Structure 1
Amino acid sequence: MIPTGFPQLLCFSILIAVASLRGCKGDAGSLQLNDDVLGLIVFRSDLHDPFSYLASWNEDDNSPCSWEFVQCNPATCRVTELSLDGLSLSGKIGRGLQKLQNLKGLSLSNNNLTGNISPELSLMGSLERLNLSRNGLTGRIPSSLAKSSIKFLDLSANALSGPLPDDMFESCFNLRFLSLAQNFLEGNIPSTLSRCASLSNLNLSNNFFSGNPIFSSGLWSLTRLRTLDLSHNTLSGPIPDGVSAIHNLKELRLQKNRFSSSLPSDIGLCPHLIKLDFSNNLFTGAIPESGQLLNSVTLFDVSNNMLSGSFPQWIGDKINLEHIDFSGNGLEGVLPLSMGNLKSLTYLSLSGNRINGSIPPSLFDLGLDQVDLSRNELSGSIPGGSGRLSESLQALDLSGNKLTGDIPAEMGLFSKLRYLNLSWNNLQSRMPPELGYFQYLTVVDLRNSALYGSIPDDICDSASLGILQLDGNSLTGPIPEEIGNCSSLYLLSLSHNNISGSIPESISMLKKLKILKLESNQLSGEIPPELGRLENLLAVNVSYNLLTGRLPVGGIFQNLDPSAMIGNLGICSPLLKGPCKMNVPKPLVLDPYAYGNQIGGRNRGSESSRSSRNSSHHRFLSISAIIAISAAVLIAIGVMVISLVNISTRRRIAFIDNALESVCSSSTRSGSLSAGKLVLFDSKTSADWISGPESLLHKAAEIGVGAFGTVYKASLGEELGDGRTLAIKKLVTTNIIQYSGDFDREVRILGKARHQNLLPLKGYYWTPQMQLLVSEYAPNGSLQAKLHERSTSSPPLSWPIRFKILLGTAKGLAHLHHSFRPPIIHYNMKPSNVLLDEDFNPKLSDFGLIRLLTKLDKHVISNRFQSALGYVAPELACQSLRVNEKCDIYGFGVLILELVTGKRSVEYGEENMVILNDHVRVLLEQGSVLDCVDSSMGEYPEEEVLPVVKLALVCTSQIPSSRPSMLEVVQILQVIKTPISHRMEAF
């Protein structure tokens, strides 16, 4: 019997034998044993090379020195360098590399290598440079890897985990470059790191390191450091003085940790410091005065801390500064005039402080790209700006200040401006006509700025305008017809002004429009019916105007909430109470006096004339009274007839129901099942089943079990003649409606819920003993399977796909909540009920089944908790069985967190249980919420993920009234996903 592994051993032995017959020609030209050929061939055997980059590696060659990606020492013909970066290689790093005893440099970065890092790599005695970055390596880092010969070690962007070995850096005195960034490493940074006296570049960012490495690891003793990056960890505690000992330090990045106390007072004694980032920590106190010695600094970021004191007046002397971000602190004082000296400055953010005084005009003479001075106490006028600024400025945010005066006409020359926010000021000026000159303007926010006058006709000359917000001003006049030229507009908000006239029909040309807010104005007339064709419109508010007439047919107008229409003269909608005024021509009424005057002649006296007019008037009233009485009589007769018809119909239906109930009950008593009928909503005829309900499930395969029943996959090709595969849910019999008429009515209501993000209900099968629901079958499975039950061969969901699923699910749920009265409650929001089509568009299934229950009893609620633990709103568990839209919103918030983190709603450890909602909330409070983002999805935009996480935590609020509506959720997600969100979050 051949032992296990014998073929591999035989192959390995043959390779050794063959290699022993070859050699590299040395000085004497004799054959020498060349282990390098053997080692590289064995190493390649563990790899998958999809593009055949290693095709030149031929085991019949005497030497590998002619192979591609291999470098040799010409004197010895031994391999010294192996660089296989970015070749899409997969597999494991095999043991063949051990043969390369003269190898000095090994670089395998940017591939798809997996598995652990073998400790045997350290056996290559001459290895000086090792780069395994940007792969999928897992497990712990061997302690022997940072041995004495290593000078360059890069293991970044893998999936390495666990703590670093305490003895890892005992012999690292030659190590100059170390990067372990973007892994899952945790625990304290070993104290032995201080022995790496030659270290010049240290990057441990984007891990889970904790503790205080400045104290425990003695990092300030690494005096040769030029770059130190500890950002995006959970490091904490104060930063002691002593950084000045690192005399050559050029970059210091400590952002997004939990460092506290004051900034190191000797930071300015690092004369070569170029980039300094202390943002998103818990630092307090003032910016150190020694900072005025940082003459080489180009990036200075201390944003989102708790710093106080005066704004540093010496900042204007740092002429090399390119990026300043002091936002989100409590700095006071005025901006120095010397800031105009910062000729290299391109990014300035001072928002969220207490800075007062005026904006230095010289600041607007710089070549800035982005300026954010919002949420301060600045006063005075807005500087005009020079030609240099007009050529560079892309984003300007001066909102939330006390600025006054006109919006400078020079702004019309800002050719690259994309984002303009002057809201919440006291400008007291007219709308600037120059706004129409911006060709790339995407966002205009002028809310609550005391603007007056009319809206300029040419405001939409910018074809890229996406957001126009003019709320809370004193604007007058009509909405210009030219508003229809804003072809990219998706948010138009003109509420709380004095705008008059009619709503322009040209708004119907805004095909991308999602939000339209016109409330609290003086608009009159009817809403143009063409607005009903705006398919992307998600929210409309026209309340408190002078509007009359019918609502547009189609679109969102058929399901508007009454609060979006109230306060008008008379909009005609069954959802509103009060008068309904139609703009129709008034009936022609002949003057009853005219003929009398002609007949009576001009010379008739006044008394005769009055008598004649009174007589005519009495005759006219009599005719009107007769018409009114006749109409009333006709209406009364009609009501009586309809009532009689309804009574007769009800009696017939009741008789039929009683007969059916009698038949069903007698059939049950006799022990046989009543024959059922498959009712399909989209078919003209229904398929009758002869052999009873069992035949429907005879060929079906069970694919899931939930709180309301079991789901089967069934092919109805033979029965229906169209080859369809459908999903069949066999409902639990407990507490389900038992009357066919009631069951039919409720299921048909659910069948009318048609939306691109809802799995349509196709029909049902009913007998007293069995109730089945028929819906479309989703062959691509559920979100639960893609997110939590993914096989290793299946790629993870990327962020764009996750956001698509998130937004589509929100739209489907919003349709259920806002398109029906009363709303349809899903009641079972969880990933297993979000199905995916072939393009990963979500289809919400199992919605509204609570309608089929006669009551929500303890049995059902218990099953609900067991099958959807972590998704159930707390009010259902703690208070009563009140089920409404807010319960769905809670479950949707948990689903958001699962999509972002890749974790289940509840996870069980060896000793405890982690509730995802609570875990993320704690991380957000600690300022490290991005640490929980699912790393498997690769790169993701923080400016989208962070607000999505915050939205999820609002949706999962313990107080139901604090949760937003699903319509508001959709609006928020739409705003988050817009391209301008990248620009806004840059501040």
Structure 2
Amino acid sequence: MRRLFGGLLLFVLFAVPLLVNGLSPNLNDDVLGLIVFKADVQDPLGKLASWNEDDDSPCNWKGIFCNPRSNRVSELVLDGFSLSGKISRGLLQLQSLHKLSLANNNLTGTLSLRLGQLPNLRTVDLSGNSFSGPIAGDFFQQCGSLRSISLAQNEFSGEIPQSLSSCSMLASLNFSSNQFSGQLPAGIWSLLGLRSLDLSDNLLEGEIPKGIEGLNNLRVINLSKNKLVGEIPDGIGGCMLLRSIDLSENFLTGGLPNSMQKLSLCNDLSLQRNAFTGNIPDWVGEMRSLEALDLSANNFSGELPNSLGELHSLKVLNLSRNTFSGSFPESLSSCADLLVLDVSQNSLSGKFPSWGFRLGLQQLVVSENKLNGSLEDAFASSMENSRQKLLHLDISQNAISGGIPSAFGDLSSLQVLNLSRNLIVGSIPNSIDQLKSLDTMDVSENQLKGGIPFAIGGATSLKKLVMDKNFLDGNIPASIGNCLQLTFLSLSQNDLTGPIPAAIAQLVNLQHVDLSFNRLTGLLPKQLANLGHLVSFNISHNQLQGDLPAGGFFNTISPSSVYGNPALCGAPVNRTCPTVLPKPIVLNPNSTDSSPGSMPENFGHEKKILSISALIAIGAAAVIVVGVIAITVLNLRVRSSASPSAAALTFSGGDDYSHSPSTDANSGKLVMFSGDPDFSTGTHALLNKDCELGRGGFGAVYRTVLKDGRSVAIKKLTVSSLVKSQDDFEREVKKLGKARHRNLVTLEGYYWTSSLQLLIYEFVSGGNLYKHLHEGSGGSISWNERFNIILGAAKSLAYLHQMNIIHYNLKSSNILIDGEGEAKVADYGLARLLPMLDRYVLSSKIQSALGYMAPEFACKTVKITEKCDVYGFGVLVLEIVTGKRPVEYMEDDVVVLCDMVRGALEEGRVEECVDGRLQGKFPAEEAIPVMKLGLICTSQVPSNRPDMAEVVNILELIRCPSESQDELA
């Protein structure tokens, strides 16, 4: 509607002569022209609310200024009004307009107006908008009255029109921060009244045209941040009124033209980041008004001229990143107003300048040179009041020797101190506590000795402290906890001893900590887990002990950050803490040398005198021996009376799980969840080793055949693992019996006596996944089959979790493959049959799942939830895709699959991890996301792992259209 209204107004403006209420036509032109402008812009802040089309005059409107004699609009100033939209042609009605300023809005589009259509315009400022596109070639025609124009900070492109040369009265031209390209128009040099020229930050190229000497009134020229080449025109010396020259960040070459020495009024000369060569000429001292000289990042060479000392007004001298050689000219000590001196990254030699601390500098940077001498000498020749002004001192990467003077405490305003990579000796002075403003301190790679002073706590503004690669000894002082702003702490490669102080946990802003390669001892403070901003925490190669802090960053800490602490334990170091699990987590699950639940030989500290716990252990071992003997006798009795026992079994079928009425000693209770099969024909299998399918932490599994010819698998549970009451046992088993899913091995029934418990499952003929991957020809499992196994396992776990059943023991040997290649998850929920769901007991029953076990099994304070299954599933995914075991045991190393894949992902070579037996017959667009999903599932933090329902959704999204699938299968 607004645009329609604007169009109607334009029609009225240009097609219908108006005489309203006796007002003059000219006055009505201003009102209507501005209303048309308003109709074409958006005014979110209501800045133009006072613009009312019913008013007779716009002179009281906000942003409008009128000529008091003619009452015509002379200035339109709407800077920072947050307007958007386009400039309307309604402005053409403002024929008396002298100043048009629409800076710092969000106006868009191209410039459709022509300056010649507003003949009285003297100032145009459209900077800080979003105008785009090229400027029409005739835009500047008939612009003789224009004095100043700024199109800065827009998105204009194309070449600068040659018609600009017709603006003969132009004094200020600013087209900076756009995308203008092409050559600099030579016509600019014909604008003899030009005082300020700014074409910086564009894409202009070619050489600077000759003829600049004609700009006798030029005060400022800025052509920085373009693509200009060639040399500075020698005629620049003819612009004798120049105050500021900025040609930085181009590709200019050659040396400084001799005519520059005529520019005695020049205050600021910036030529940084070009390709200038040669020496600094001696005549530079004749540019007596220079306050800032920046020649950094060029190819200047030679010695620094003594004439630099004649620049008595000089405040900033930046000669860094060149190839200057020789020593500092002593004459620089005459530059009494100098505030910033940066000569870093050159080849200057000789002694550190004795006047460096005498001038009252704010910034002194001489890093990466070849300077020698001592700081103590330099300090001795300076006054305390001159030191107090220094904010930034960087003398790193030289050959400075001697000690750090205690007078360093006089640098009370110092914010940055970098003395690194020198030959500095001695200790760190206690006067450091006087540096209340110090933000960064780096004294690394020197020869400092002694301890870290307790006074470090006085530098309360410190954010970065680096002291690595020295010979510091003693303890880390607890006073460091006073440096509450600290984000970066590096004390590595020293000789520090003692514990890590708990006070470090007070530094809530810490992000990076490196304490590696020292001799630190003791336990890690548990409070470190509260450091919520940590990104890295390296304590490798120390003598720390005990378990890592639980929670926070330490749940995902890199193994390399804790390596080299033999007594440290926890998941990241692949070493189980003795108070949580009885076996190290890297124990070989394929070894037959140790029985489930047994303690490793020489575990913990050797005791010469038997403790109470040792006596209890011996007693427990004796009980186990008696139990084994009793079970053996029981088995012999069963063998001798197999038929009578079988005959005594009483069955009850149907879904009502009806109980057997038999309760005598020779009979037990059998419940089948469906049908009424004759089980007695198969009981002999329990005594026949030839029918054994395998053994696990919960017992042995046998195959037997029912009378109807159907095979079933019977798990004979280890008696010692089941001391729950019959009611508890039946409650848990019946819950498992209700689980029915195509990717689950169905539990068909159970048998109970006080001395014998059996679980009856469907028989799955294809063997388990572990054998397919690691003992057979794993290459015969195609990518398509592997993906379907992963998806099937995910769906079964999601189903179990929906029924509030946790598997607890997920691993490849518990994934069975049926005759159609379909995955069926077995052994789910059996941990619930344990007398108590204790981490110690549970870990002893599922030791063969080490490598799949979530880290919360090693942490007493973290609840075991469905997320434990998610972790095991993540490991299983990586095992299926890579064809590698979760833990590979080498001769002198242990490779953890999760860490290997994660490292490959970080190095950009994750595709190399896919099972080589697939020989490239897999879609990378599926395999890589699946591996990334596996890594996400194995996050150390349970809350970071997805739910299994989410995993199923992600896998279904990853599945690609299957045209290529058949080829890969």
Length-normalised TM-score, structure 1: 0.62
Tell me, in whole angstroms, the C-alpha distance in 2 between the residues paired with 1:557 and 1:674.
33
1:739 to 2:802 alignment: no
Distance 1:32 1:98, change over 3 A: closer
Residue 696 of structure 1 corresponds to none
Q: Is the Cα contact below 8 Å between 1:679 and 1:686 reproduced in 2?
A: no
Q: What does 1:752-763 align with in structure 2 at a 5 Å threshold?
A: none
Q: Is the Cα contact below 8 Å between 2:95 and 2:118 reproduced in 1?
A: yes
The partner residue of 1:419 within 416, 423, 433 is 416
Residue 92 of structure 1 corresponds to 86
The partner residue of 1:500 within 494, 497, 502 is 497
Q: Is the Cα contact below 8 Å between 2:5 and 2:39 reproduced in 1?
A: no
Amino acid of the residue matched to residue 239 of structure 2?
I
Tell me, in whole angstroms, the C-alpha distance in 2 between the residues paired with 1:750 and 1:188.
66
Residue 729 of structure 2 corresponds to none
Tell me, in whole angstroms, the C-alpha distance in 2 between the residues paired with 1:563 and 1:118.
63
What secondary structure is seen at the aligned counterpart in 1 of 2:269? Answer: strand
Query: How far 1:410 moved relative to its partner?
Result: 2.5
1:157 to 2:275 alignment: no
1:38 to 2:21 alignment: no
Residue 537 of structure 1 corresponds to 534
What secondary structure is seen at the aligned counterpart in 2 of 1:519? Answer: coil
Deviations 1:389-413 (A, max 9, x none): 4432222111111112222222212
Report the count of equivalent residues.
700
1:373 to 2:425 alignment: no
Q: Is the Cα contact below 8 Å between 1:570 and 1:580 reproduced in 2?
A: no
The partner residue of 1:685 within 803, 808, 816 is 803
Alignment RMSD:
5.0
1:209 to 2:191 alignment: no
Residue 293 of structure 1 corresponds to 286
Tell me, in whole angstroms, the C-alpha distance in 1 between the residues paired with 2:516 and 2:792.
57
Tell me, in whole angstroms, the C-alpha distance in 2 between the residues paired with 1:638 and 1:233.
88
Tell me, in whole angstroms, the C-alpha distance in 2 between the residues paired with 1:676 and 1:438.
59
The partner residue of 2:177 within 164, 168, 182 is 182
What secondary structure is seen at the aligned counterpart in 2 of 1:531? Answer: helix
What secondary structure is seen at the aligned counterpart in 2 of 1:202? Answer: strand
Tell me, in whole angstroms, the C-alpha distance in 2 between the residues paired with 1:761 and 1:163.
62
Distance 1:285 1:506, change over 3 A: same
**More displaced, 309-318 or 847-856?**
847-856
Residue 195 of structure 1 corresponds to 190
Q: Is the Cα contact below 8 Å between 1:498 and 1:521 reproduced in 2?
A: yes
The partner residue of 2:321 within 306, 325, 328 is 328
Distance 1:331 1:284, change over 3 A: same
Distance 1:742 1:280, change over 3 A: farther
Residue 271 of structure 1 corresponds to 264
Tell me, in whole angstroms, the C-alpha distance in 1 between the residues paired with 2:469 and 2:394.
18
Distance 1:212 1:53, change over 3 A: same
Tell me, in whole angstroms, the C-alpha distance in 1 between the residues paired with 2:623 and 2:562.
33
Deviations 1:278-303 (A, max 9, x none): 11112222123221111111111111
Q: What does 1:873-912 align with in structure 2 at a 5 Å threshold?
A: none
Distance 1:507 1:51, change over 3 A: closer
Amino acid of the residue matched to residue 345 of structure 2?
G
Tell me, in whole angstroms, the C-alpha distance in 1 between the residues paired with 2:100 and 2:615.
105
Q: Is the Cα contact below 8 Å between 1:276 and 1:300 reproduced in 2?
A: yes
**More displaced, 442-451 or 230-239?**
230-239
1:648 to 2:690 alignment: no
Tell me, in whole angstroms, the C-alpha distance in 2 between the residues paired with 1:221 and 1:264.
17
1:472 to 2:475 alignment: no
Query: How far 1:131 moved relative to its partner?
Result: 1.1
Query: How far 1:498 moved relative to its partner?
Result: 1.6
Distance 1:529 1:131, change over 3 A: closer
**More displaced, 525-534 or 85-94?**
525-534
Deviations 1:237-283 (A, max 9, x none): 23242221111111111111122232333322211111111111122
Tell me, in whole angstroms, the C-alpha distance in 1 between the residues paired with 2:626 and 2:287.
94
Amino acid of the residue matched to residue 285 of structure 2?
Q
Tell me, in whole angstroms, the C-alpha distance in 1 between the residues paired with 2:71 and 2:229.
52
Tell me, in whole angstroms, the C-alpha distance in 1 between the residues paired with 2:868 and 2:115.
61
Tell me, in whole angstroms, the C-alpha distance in 2 between the residues paired with 1:527 and 1:453.
24
Q: Is the Cα contact below 8 Å between 1:424 and 1:446 reproduced in 2?
A: yes
Tell me, in whole angstroms, the C-alpha distance in 2 between the residues paired with 1:247 and 1:98.
40
Residue 81 of structure 1 corresponds to 75
Distance 1:130 1:480, change over 3 A: same
What secondary structure is seen at the aligned counterpart in 1 of 2:700? Answer: helix
The partner residue of 1:144 within 138, 144, 152 is 138
Amino acid of the residue matched to residue 126 of structure 1?
N
Tell me, in whole angstroms, the C-alpha distance in 1 between the residues paired with 2:572 and 2:213.
70
The partner residue of 1:347 within 318, 329, 340 is 340
Which 5+ residue runs of structure 1 have no aligned equivalent? 26-30, 591-624, 688-735, 753-759, 765-770, 772-816, 831-846, 869-880, 886-987
Query: How far 1:106 moved relative to its partner?
Result: 1.3
Distance 1:85 1:550, change over 3 A: closer
Length-normalised TM-score, structure 2: 0.63
Query: How far 1:133 moved relative to its partner?
Result: 0.9
The partner residue of 2:428 within 416, 428, 431 is 431
Tell me, in whole angstroms, the C-alpha distance in 2 between the residues paired with 1:652 and 1:306.
84
Q: Is the Cα contact below 8 Å between 2:529 and 2:549 reproduced in 1?
A: yes
Deviations 1:691-744 (A, max 9, x none): xxxxxxxxxxxxxxxxxxxxxxxxxxxxxxxxxxxxxxxxxxxxx995254999
Q: What does 1:2-41 align with in structure 2 at a 5 Å threshold?
A: 8-9=7-8, 12-13=11-12, 19-21=18-20, 34-41=28-35
Amino acid of the residue matched to residue 84 of structure 2?
S
Q: Is the Cα contact below 8 Å between 1:320 and 1:342 reproduced in 2?
A: yes
Amino acid of the residue matched to residue 98 of structure 2?
K
Q: Is the Cα contact below 8 Å between 2:13 and 2:33 reproduced in 1?
A: no
Distance 1:239 1:750, change over 3 A: farther
Q: Is the Cα contact below 8 Å between 2:202 and 2:226 reproduced in 1?
A: yes
Query: How far 1:576 moved relative to its partner?
Result: 5.1
Tell me, in whole angstroms, the C-alpha distance in 2 between the residues paired with 1:354 and 1:637.
84
What secondary structure is seen at the aligned counterpart in 2 of 1:460? Answer: helix
Distance 1:324 1:740, change over 3 A: farther
What secondary structure is seen at the aligned counterpart in 2 of 1:115? Answer: coil
Query: How far 1:455 moved relative to its partner?
Result: 0.9
Deviations 1:599-622 (A, max 9, x none): xxxxxxxxxxxxxxxxxxxxxxxx
Tell me, in whole angstroms, the C-alpha distance in 2 between the residues paired with 1:855 and 1:184.
52
Residue 692 of structure 1 corresponds to none
Tell me, in whole angstroms, the C-alpha distance in 2 between the residues paired with 1:679 and 1:206.
59
What secondary structure is seen at the aligned counterpart in 2 of 1:500? Answer: strand
Residue 107 of structure 1 corresponds to 101
Q: Is the Cα contact below 8 Å between 2:459 and 2:483 reproduced in 1?
A: yes
Tell me, in whole angstroms, the C-alpha distance in 1 between the residues paired with 2:53 and 2:221.
44
Tell me, in whole angstroms, the C-alpha distance in 2 between the residues paired with 1:249 and 1:40.
41
What secondary structure is seen at the aligned counterpart in 2 of 1:168? Answer: helix
- Return the index of the structure with the highest Cα Rg: 2
Distance 1:586 1:53, change over 3 A: same
Tell me, in whole angstroms, the C-alpha distance in 1 between the residues paired with 2:483 and 2:216.
59
Distance 1:584 1:818, change over 3 A: closer
What secondary structure is seen at the aligned counterpart in 1 of 2:138? Answer: helix
Distance 1:829 1:129, change over 3 A: farther
Tell me, in whole angstroms, the C-alpha distance in 1 between the residues paired with 2:9 and 2:165.
40
Query: How far 1:430 moved relative to its partner?
Result: 0.9
Query: How far 1:92 moved relative to its partner?
Result: 1.2
Query: How far 1:677 moved relative to its partner?
Result: 6.0
